[in-house]
């Protein structure tokens, strides 16, 4: 039994049932998403900090323009007036997505991972602009993530592609799915797919940092399958989190999954956006290095490597240039932690924060090393080189290993000359 025995059907389109998750900021690059699309699967990009990403890729100046606009507010802990220009948000979104989808050459698809918790000090309007601009730019699908997304569909119900673009939701419980579907039913716009993310996933989690280990993906997946049967709803279900081998994936497909979403193994691919040195940290990680903490300002637990530089940040908040996680009214728990640390620091002492991190800056600088729980097994997936470092596999190697491997075997990439 192998993954290639199955296919994902979304509307009239058929895909290899492998979805690469949308890892931000620009870890799931255009190149990584296109690798999946070329091979007949689905690749995600993320719209986390799209303005910043455009500046890096295309030499635009979205961040510096915004910083100059609010330069006088840099030392003010009140960020209420630090707002994104909605025209610039739309421009960046379109530029990045058009750049990606214009390069499609295969029979797969490019989806966008869109986080509700990317609140940008104007949660509803900025989310509406991001989604609308993505559809304008030709994105194949929208995956609604990081939140319950109770009113997200309302924001785009008048868009001409509302019933054309594929829309999916990431949930971690039947309860969250039930809440979302109630509104979807009222709008007569059910999702085309449901991604069920378990407790072993990377990045932000839908579980408590204290009890995530008491849940398991298979149980939640089966609960979702049964719930949909009871409601007489035929919506494809895509499990995610901890699916490390092609056999893991095939077992879910045989149990009723329509596809699987995978990400951690692709973090070390040549196409992924992480710097090469950081990819080596991922491969060398032990299970003890992988932690779930509350350092994120979103209020959600987050899984990352304990060596992540962002956990040692003491920098001044960079909201004027970035500010993607400002709550409405300009609030952010890192600002509060930073101000508290300033006020309590004694003369001559080094500033120490610890409890929260400037996630906007950390993600932009690739200093927040988020990963799935199974990252400690990455060394099983590649070759050790003569200098002690590890070979970085191509995304195609990883994708094909998932698609065709048997018996939990992992096919290593062809060794490089110095391997």
Instruction: Compute the distance between CA of residue 300 and CA of residue 359 in angstroms, rounded to an integer.
Output: 12
CATH number, residue 57: 3.20.20.70
CA-nearest of 381, 384, 414 to 398 is: 381
Q: What is the pLDDT of residue 336?
A: 94
Q: Is residue 366 part of a domain?
A: no
Number of compact structural domains in the chain: 1
Q: Which residue has the tokens 């956006």?
A: 273
Q: What is the pLDDT of residue 419?
A: 52
CA-nearest of 267, 206, 269 to 413 is: 269
Q: Is residue 215 part of a domain?
A: yes
Q: What is the pLDDT of residue 357?
A: 94
The pLDDT tens digits of the residues spanning 3-30 come to: 999 999 999 999 999 999 999 999 999 9
User: Is residue 292 within a helix (H) or strand (E), and if so which, with residue range?
Assistant: strand 290-293
Kindly calculate the radius of gyration of the chain based on its CA atoms and give it in whole angstroms: 21
The pLDDT tens digits of the residues spanning 61-78 come to: 999 999 999 999 999 999
The pLDDT tens digits of the residues spanning 215-230 come to: 999 999 999 999 999 9
Q: Is residue 356 part of a domain?
A: no
User: Is the pLDDT confidence value at 417 over 80?
Assistant: no
Q: Is residue 310 part of a domain?
A: no
Strands 141-145 and 203-204: unpaired
Q: What is the mean pLDDT of residues 285-291?
A: 97
Q: Is residue 84 part of a domain?
A: yes
Instruction: Compute the distance between CA of residue 262 and CA of residue 175 in angstroms, rounded to an integer.
Output: 23
Q: Is residue 254 part of a domain?
A: yes
Sign for the CA dihedral angle at 255, 259, 261, 267 comes to positive
User: Is the pLDDT confidence value at 151 over 70?
Assistant: yes
Q: What is the mean pLDDT of residues 251-278?
A: 98
Instruction: Compute the distance between CA of residue 190 and CA of residue 235 in angstroms, rounded to an integer.
Output: 8
Q: What is the mean pLDDT of residues 111-125?
A: 97
Instruction: Compute the distance between CA of residue 96 and CA of residue 49 in angstroms, rounded to an integer.
Output: 11
CA-nearest of 186, 164, 190 to 177 is: 190
As separate numbers, helices (DSSP H) first and strands (DSSP E) second, the chain gives 13, 13
pTM of this prediction?
0.96
Q: Is residue 350 part of a domain?
A: no
Name residues whose C-beta falls within 8 Å of residue 199's C-beta, 6 or more positions apart in sequence.
172, 205, 207, 212, 213, 215, 216, 217, 241, 373
What is the residue range of 100's domain? 3-274+387-404
Q: Is residue 352 part of a domain?
A: no
């Amino acid at each position: 039994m192998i993954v290639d025995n199955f296919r994902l059907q979304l509307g009239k389109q058929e895909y290899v049932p492998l979805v690469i998750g949308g890892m931000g900021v620009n870890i799931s690059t255009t190149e990584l998403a296109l690798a999946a699309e070329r091979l007949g699967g689905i690749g995600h990009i993320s719209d986390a900090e799209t303005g910043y990403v455009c500046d890096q890729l295309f030499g635009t100046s979205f961040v510096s323009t915004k910083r100059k606009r609010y330069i006088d507010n840099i030392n003010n802990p009140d960020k209420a007036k630090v707002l994104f220009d909605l025209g610039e948000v739309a421009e960046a979104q379109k530029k990045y997505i058009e750049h990606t989808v214009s390069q499609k050459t295969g029979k797969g698809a490019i989806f966008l991972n869109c986080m509700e918790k990317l609140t940008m000090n104007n949660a509803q309007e900025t989310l509406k602009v991001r989604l609308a601009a993505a559809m304008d730019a030709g994105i194949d699908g929208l995956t609604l993530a990081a939140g319950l997304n109770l009113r997200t569909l309302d924001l785009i119900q008048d868009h001409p592609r509302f019933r054309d673009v594929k829309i999916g939701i990431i949930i971690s419980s039947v309860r969250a799915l039930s809440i979302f579907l109630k509104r979807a039913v009222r709008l007569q716009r059910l999702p085309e797919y449901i991604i069920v993310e378990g407790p072993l996933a990377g990045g932000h989690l839908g579980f408590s940092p204290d009890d995530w280990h008491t849940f398991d993906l298979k149980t939640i997946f089966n609960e979702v399958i049964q719930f949909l049967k009871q409601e007489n709803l035929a919506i494809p279900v895509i499990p995610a989190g901890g699916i490390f081998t092609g056999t893991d994936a095939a077992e879910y497909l045989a149990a009723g999954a329509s596809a699987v979403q995978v990400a951690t193994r692709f973090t070390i691919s040549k196409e992924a956006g992480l710097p090469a040195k950081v990819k080596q940290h991922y491969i060398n990680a032990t299970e003890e290095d992988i932690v779930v903490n509350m350092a994120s300002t979103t209020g959600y637990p987050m899984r990352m490597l304990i060596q992540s530089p962002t956990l040692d940040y003491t920098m001044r908040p960079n909201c004027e240039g970035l500010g993607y996680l400002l709550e409405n009214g300009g609030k952010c728990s890192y600002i509060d932690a930073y101000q508290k640390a300033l006020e309590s620091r004694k003369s001559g002492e080094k500033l120490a924060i610890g409890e929260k991190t400037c996630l906007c800056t950390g993600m932009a600088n690739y200093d927040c090393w988020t990963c799935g729980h199974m990252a400690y097994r990455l060394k099983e997936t590649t070759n050790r080189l003569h200098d002690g470092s590890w070979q970085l596999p191509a995304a195609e190697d990883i994708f094909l290993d998932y698609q065709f491997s048997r018996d939990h075997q992992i096919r290593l990439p062809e060794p490089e000359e110095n391997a």
